[in-house]
Amino acid sequence: MNGAVKRAFKYRCYPSPEQADQLNRTFGCVRKVYNLALDARTRAWTVERQRITYGQSSAWLTEWKRTQELAFLNEVSSVPLQQALRHLQAAFVAFWDKRSNYPRFKSKRRSRASAEYTRSAFRWRDGQLTLAKMEAPLHIAWSRPLPEGAQPSTVTVSRDAAGRWFVSLLVEDPTVKALPSVDTAVGADVGITSLVTLSTGEKITNPRHERADRRKLAHAQRELSRKAKDSRNRAKARLKVARIHARIADRRRDLLHKLSTRLVRENQTVVIEDLSVRTMLRNRRLARAISDAAWSQLRSMIEYKAIWYGRTVIVIDRWYPSSKTCSTCGRINAALTLDVRAWSCPGCGSVHDRDVNAARNILAAGLAER
């Protein structure tokens, strides 16, 4: 890994009423520009089979600002609007490379409310952040220090569904360095009862955060359904539901960060399966539990932290029969069903815990690929 790692540090912030109003207008303009550009690019492709570049969409933005209908775009900083066009361009590139689906329009209620500012659109001085079009710095709750001498290159301000405000500062972090090499390697099998089972035999219990708050969430959702549409009481009830969801997500993310950091720090090599979580979510009986486990999020954390700390992540084929293969003799037990949690190998007589056996096979398969 060459050079310092760029890392985002996220904090709660508490904008004044005037700042909140300015930010909310900026969020709306970002969403409007993104949707206008997506619509125009879609029509250009549908009618003329023309691929629009970022430069062309940027020229459109200049023209839109000159119209009476869209003159309100001039009331906010132009940088977040340009960044929205860059994000749309990245979404199209991912679509053309067959890495994602076609870009979708941003929704006022369902999409993330955020605005991204580059260096020309904010002032960073003496640990205080002032955004373009604002006179006073944002009030930020510094829950942890930034790296010494850090200078943010990008600032992203966002508001979640629970009404909480956040600011994310992208800085170079010289403290993130490759860890000393170790001789250990581990295979990890994800599941629902046990969130992760390791090839060492250790099982990390799945706390099932969503299930723990399910009764409270169901009550809040019933209350929301009874409120009159567009009423103040409905807005309050919607906020209550959002806060419960935020609590669940926060606890889940905290656990996954701690687990992924531990696995990467303790092992030189981590071997995992390439699971198709999207396909697995089609199982109606298990979809809720699978979503709560957040396997994809755990994999993402392990992969980027491995890059940070000089570790190796090996991903084995999703079709490898890790659960049905005897980790002792290699015989495949094709008759093994999902409800069987422990089994004896017909070939060598070894007794296996299903998950531990799978984790050991995952490790062996990963090391064989090196």
Is residue 225 one of the residues assigned to a domain? Answer: no
| Residue 2, pLDDT score | 54
Last residue of a domain, one of 150, 173, 196: 173
Quote the percentage of the chain above a pLDDT of 90.
79
Is residue 215 one of the residues assigned to a domain? Answer: no
Is residue 235 one of the residues assigned to a domain? Answer: no
How far apart are alpha carbons 103 and 180 in whole angstroms? 42
Same domain? For 185 and 274 the reply is: yes
Q: How confident is the model at residue 1 (pLDDT cuts 50, 70, 90)?
A: low
How far apart are alpha carbons 325 and 333 in whole angstroms? 6
Same domain? For 54 and 189 the reply is: no
Q: How many Cβ atoms from other residues are within 10 Å of residue 12's Cβ? A: 13
Specify which residues 111 forms β-bridges with. none
Please say whether the dihedral angle defined by the alpha carbons of residues 221, 222, 225 and 228, taken in this order, is positive or negative. negative
Is residue 356 one of the residues assigned to a domain? Answer: yes
Give the phi and the psi of residue 130 in degrees, each rounded to 5: -120, 125
Is residue 121 one of the residues assigned to a domain? Answer: yes
Same domain? For 41 and 91 the reply is: yes
236 vs 285, residue with greater confidence: 236
Asked whether 148 and 158 are in contact (CB, 8 A), the reply is no
- Greatest alpha-carbon span in the chain: 80
Same domain? For 137 and 189 the reply is: no
Contacts (Cβ under 8 Å, ≥6 apart) of 106? 31, 34, 35
| Residue 22, pLDDT score | 97
| Residue 3, pLDDT score | 63
| Residue 326, pLDDT score | 93
Q: How confident is the model at residue 282 (pLDDT cuts 50, 70, 90)?
A: confident
Which member of 189, 213, 274, 303 is catalytic? Answer: 189
Read off the pLDDT of residues 177-217 as tens digits, 9 standing for 90 and up: 999 999 999 999 999 989 999 999 999 999 999 988 999 99
Read off the pLDDT of residues 129-162 as tens digits, 9 standing for 90 and up: 999 999 999 999 999 999 988 999 999 999 999 9
Same domain? For 261 and 285 the reply is: yes
The strand ranges marked E within 65-218 are 113-118, 122-125, 128-131, 140-141, 154-159, 165-173, 185-190, 194-198, 203-205
For helices 78-96 and 17-48, the axis angle rounded to 10 degrees is 40
| Residue 262, pLDDT score | 97
273 an active-site residue?
yes
Is residue 77 one of the residues assigned to a domain? Answer: yes
Same domain? For 17 and 118 the reply is: yes
Q: Please, where are the H alpha helices in 67-208?
A: 78-96
CATH number of the domain where residue 342 is located:
3.30.420
Is a pLDDT exceeding 80 seen at residue 370?
Answer: no
Same domain? For 164 and 190 the reply is: no
How far apart are alpha carbons 82 and 353 in whole angstroms? 54
Same domain? For 154 and 80 the reply is: yes
The type of residue at 27 is F
Same domain? For 183 and 169 the reply is: no
Specify which residues 131 forms β-bridges with. 122
Same domain? For 163 and 184 the reply is: no
Task: Report residue 343 CA to chain centroid gap.
Answer: 37
In the block, tokens 């250009």 appear at 44
Read off the pLDDT of residues 39-70 as tens digits, 9 standing for 90 and up: 999 999 898 888 899 999 999 999 999 999 99
Burial of residue 311 (CB within 10 Å: 0-12, 13-18, 19+) is buried
Is residue 239 one of the residues assigned to a domain? Answer: no
Is residue 363 one of the residues assigned to a domain? Answer: yes
What's the N-to-C CA distance of the chain in angstroms? 20
189 an active-site residue?
yes
Same domain? For 116 and 191 the reply is: no
**Tokens (6 digits) for 279:** 């396909």
Same domain? For 161 and 199 the reply is: no
Task: Report residue 62 CA to chain centroid gap.
Answer: 32
How far apart are alpha carbons 287 and 280 in whole angstroms? 7
Q: Domain limits at 258?
A: 178-206+252-370
Provide the number of structural domains found in the chain.
2
Give the phi and the psi of residue 195 in degrees, each rounded to 5: -60, -45
Which member of 273, 292, 317, 369 is catalytic? Answer: 273
pLDDT, mean of residues 109-118: 93
Which member of 116, 210, 292, 355 is catalytic? Answer: 355
Read off the pLDDT of residues 327-359 as tens digits, 9 standing for 90 and up: 999 989 888 888 888 989 988 988 999 999 999
Is a pLDDT exceeding 80 seen at residue 79?
Answer: yes
